[in-house]
Copies of this chain bind each other. A is one copy, B any other.
Amino acid sequence: MTEASIDVIAIGNAIVDVMAPCEEALIEELGMTRGGMTLVDTARAELLYDRMGPAREISGGSAANTLAGLAALGAKCAFIGQVAEDQLGAVFAHDIRAAGIAFDTAPRAAEPPTARCLIFVSADGQRTMNTFLGASQFLPAAALDLSVIADAKVLYLEGYLWDPEEPRAAMRSAIEAAHGAGRKVAFTLSDAFVIDRHGAEFRSMIEAGQIDILFANEHELAALTGTDDFEHGLAALAPKLAVLAVTRGEHGAVAIAGGERAEVPAEPIAKVVDTTGAGDLFAAGFLFGHVRGQPLSDCLRLGAICAGEVISHYGARPEADLKALTAPVTG
């Protein structure tokens, strides 16, 4: 196996987040699932946008956010995702390239427009997401350069993108290419509702050894394992994976790898402004430690620090100097 020249390559939704603060009553009135991610069609997206307050647009997408964190830490990254040939597509492409991430997926010159996620942020920082997948769901397997995937230490995949057919097929061939080259596959479960739809498939992929590193939060762990007992869930899942990392919000995170277990408390934060991207940036810090070969407890600490940074401001991409923040752990 040759030395990989990329640390992490990711396949994910190419999304621009449209974010605005919101009153609790509006979430109820609009029938949104507080704290969740719901896919919406054009009509619903328009209705929700009409009711949203003045917003700001910041590039997002779960796996893309993770790469933004990794790149800020100094990792070499590449992203694969589908935008349309429109203004929001240009915004997404600019932002990911400006973060130092290679991004070569050609924009799609057809309807629908670039994906956007309407994010209603509550006073306590909780985010309620409504995703219009747009062009993102038409990422074709043909857009993948398998030689580039074979050249990355880790292939990182986003569960959110498992819904649409074309990207799912693309991700399946990417897994094959990565494992064919002796690389590792990391997967984030993304959302409990994604598991409601695709849990059986995720479980069989794990059984078949197609996933090496799994990221989940405690709700996703419960949905995947079918038990609300956290320890039982961990015990059932961990032996089937090289690495299992589970986040527990304000209660920190747990990771198990090769029988070793480590835990980390959540990073103390003066004020939680917007939790969008917390899981994504946890994965960024954790993977950064992982590709550098740091101990499991360091990987967790790096994840906690990066998650703590991103929830202290609006938007799911890091703003502070992550290298400086993580220096006590990276040395």
Query: B-contacting residues of A (Cβ < 8 Å)?
Result: 18, 20, 49-50, 52-59, 68, 86-88, 91, 94-96, 98-99, 113, 315, 317
Contacts and interface: CB of A to CB of B under 8 A. Distances in A.
Given A18-B91, A53-B99, A56-B315, 12 more contacts: A49-B94, A52-B98, A53-B98, A54-B96, A54-B99, A54-B317, A55-B91, A55-B95, A55-B98, A56-B57, A57-B57, A86-B87
Given A87-B88, A88-B87, A58 B59 contact: no
A58 B86 CA distance: 18
Contacts of A315: 56
Nearest to A94: B49
Contacts of A55: 91, 94-95, 98
- Number of this chain's copies in the assembly equals 2
Contacts of A99: 53-54
Contacts of A54: 59, 68, 94-96, 98-99, 317
Contact of A87 (B56, B87, B96): B87
Contacts of A49: 94
Q: Could you tell me the dominant secondary structure of chain A's interface residues? A: mixed
Contacts of A113: 87
A255 B315 CA distance: 39
A18 B98 CA distance: 13
Contacts of A59: 54
Nearest to A17: B56
Q: Which of A55, A57, A317 has most B Cβ within 10 Å? A: A57
A269 to B, nearest CB: 18
A221 B113 CA distance: 46
A96 B113 CA distance: 22
Contacts of A52: 94, 98
29 contacts: A18-B91, A20-B98, A50-B94, A52-B94, A52-B98, A53-B98, A53-B99, A54-B59, A54-B68, A54-B94, A54-B95, A54-B96, A54-B99, A54-B317, A55-B91, A55-B94, A55-B95, A55-B98, A56-B57, A56-B58, A56-B315, A57-B57, A57-B58, A57-B91, A86-B86, A86-B87, A87-B87, A87-B88, A87-B113
The 3 closest A-B pairs by CB, nearest first: A57-B57, A87-B87, A54-B95
A52 B55 CA distance: 22
A49 B54 CA distance: 24
Interface centre among A68, A86, A91 (most CB of B within 10 A): A91
Contact of A56 (B50, B56, B68, B86): B56
A131 to B, nearest CB: 17
A132 to B, nearest CB: 12
Nearest to A96: B54
A257 to B, nearest CB: 32
A77 to B, nearest CB: 13
